[in-house]
């Protein structure tokens, strides 16, 4: 439960950062009239929606298992990440709608220096919070926080491009640069949105845990094979948000008692949980001498 509260705390930090950057970037657009800065402000609105969505999905994922959801609701984080990607694409379309008319009728930018300063301050907030969320998401195995952090980092690069565009317009007087850079921003964030959706959809398909973690489990199996003459097979893994699920079969000597087998299975499961974060383990025990024990190595048996 402490980890759940920690995740929510980071989501609230993201929400506060989104509110601050919306105010700063909207003010920057208002004083300059730059469609590039407008595109930046629109993306910050998406940041706020994404932060609130991440907060709600983290709460849902943290809900305890019940009769209707015995395996929990851990995949809720993938919905947050996927919807965030879709919102980013929507923001890109809005930017393009605002920028295209300016290609035919470019308009001058007012007070460019003040707009640049406001945008830089907002970007500094996004940079700090984005790095914080990525670090926390990686450490706590939360795809929702990671996605939110990567979204904020893409916003930083977007803002950098917009600031450069506003500065170039102010220096050169070439007003067409403003909508051109806004369109370039739209293309960039569309790519970010699609990548987030792709990763989320992959998670919804019950992907295996990372190869390095599976290798750690195999090392444990190899050790117990040498020590006890036992065997393992049917290792199956999947991940749902921050949660990992690990199941396997233990083939044991016929002379072992149920108590001996249970003691060893508890020991092995504990070691797996120490190496694989947030792992839920399930062991199936079989006699090593029976041929039938070697026939059920797949999830779906014929």
Q: What is the DSSP string of 228-275?
A: H--EEEEEEEEEETTEEEEEEEEEE-TT--HHHHHHHHHHHHHHHHHH
pTM for this structure? 0.65
Whether 61 has a pLDDT exceeding 60, the answer reads yes
Q: Whose CA is closest to 120, among 151, 164, 181, 176? A: 164
Residues of the chain above pLDDT 90, percent: 18
Whether 164 has a pLDDT exceeding 80, the answer reads no
How confident is the model at residue 272, as a pLDDT? Answer: 95
Beta strand 279-287 with 243-252: parallel, antiparallel or unpaired?
Answer: parallel
CA distance 56 to 9: 12
| DSSP reduced 3-state for 183 | helix
CATH fold match for the domains 2-204 and 211-294: no
**Domain locations in the chain?**
2-204, 211-294
Q: How far is CA 83 from CA 60, 86, 105, 205, in A?
A: 15, 5, 34, 16
Residues 6+ apart with CB under 8 A from 64: 72
pLDDT band at 225 (very low <50, low <70, confident <90, very high): very high
| DSSP reduced 3-state for 296 | coil
Q: State whether CATH 3.50.30.10 applies to domain 2-204.
A: no
Whether 301 has a pLDDT exceeding 60, the answer reads no
pLDDT tens digit string along 180-189?
777 777 787 7
Q: What is the CATH number of domain 211-294?
A: 3.30.70.1350
How confident is the model at residue 281, as a pLDDT? Answer: 93
Cα torsion 146, 151, 155, 156 to 10°: value is 10
**Is pLDDT larger for residue 250 or for residue 149?**
250
Q: What is the mean pLDDT of residues 192-219?
A: 84
């Amino acid at each position: 439960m402490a980890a759940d509260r920690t995740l929510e705390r980071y989501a609230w930090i993201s929400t506060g950062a989104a509110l601050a950057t919306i105010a700063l970037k909207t003010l920057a657009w208002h004083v300059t009239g730059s469609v590039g800065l407008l595109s930046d402000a629109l993306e910050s609105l998406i940041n706020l929606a994404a932060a609130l969505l991440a907060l709600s999905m983290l709460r849902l994922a943290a809900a305890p298992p019940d009769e209707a959801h015995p395996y929990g609701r851990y995949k809720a984080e993938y919905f947050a990440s996927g919807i965030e990607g879709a919102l980013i694409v929507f923001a890109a379309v809005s930017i393009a709608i605002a920028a295209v008319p300016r290609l035919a009728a470019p308009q001058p930018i007012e007070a460019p220096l003040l707009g640049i300063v406001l945008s830089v301050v907002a970007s500094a907030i996004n940079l700090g919070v984005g790095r914080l969320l990525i670090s926390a998401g990686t450490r706590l195995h939360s795809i929702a926080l990671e996605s939110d952090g990567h979204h904020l980092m893409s916003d930083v690069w977007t803002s950098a491009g917009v600031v450069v565009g506003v500065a170039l317009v102010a220096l050169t007087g070439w007003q067409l640069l403003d909508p051109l850079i806004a369109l370039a921003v739209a293309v960039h964030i569309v790519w970010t949105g699609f990548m987030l959706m792709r990763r989320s959809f992959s998670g919804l398909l019950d992907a295996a845990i990372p190869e390095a973690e599976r290798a750690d489990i195999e090392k444990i199996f190899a050790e117990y094979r040498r020590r006890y003459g036992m065997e393992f097979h049917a290792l199956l893994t999947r991940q749902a948000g921050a949660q990992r699920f690990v199941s396997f079969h233990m083939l044991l000597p016929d002379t072992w008692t149920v108590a001996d087998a249970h003691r060893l299975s508890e020991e092995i499961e504990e070691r797996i949980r120490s190496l694989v974060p947030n792992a839920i383990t399930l062991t199936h025990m079989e006699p090593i001498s029976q041929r039938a024990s070697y026939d059920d190595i797949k999830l779906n048996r014929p």
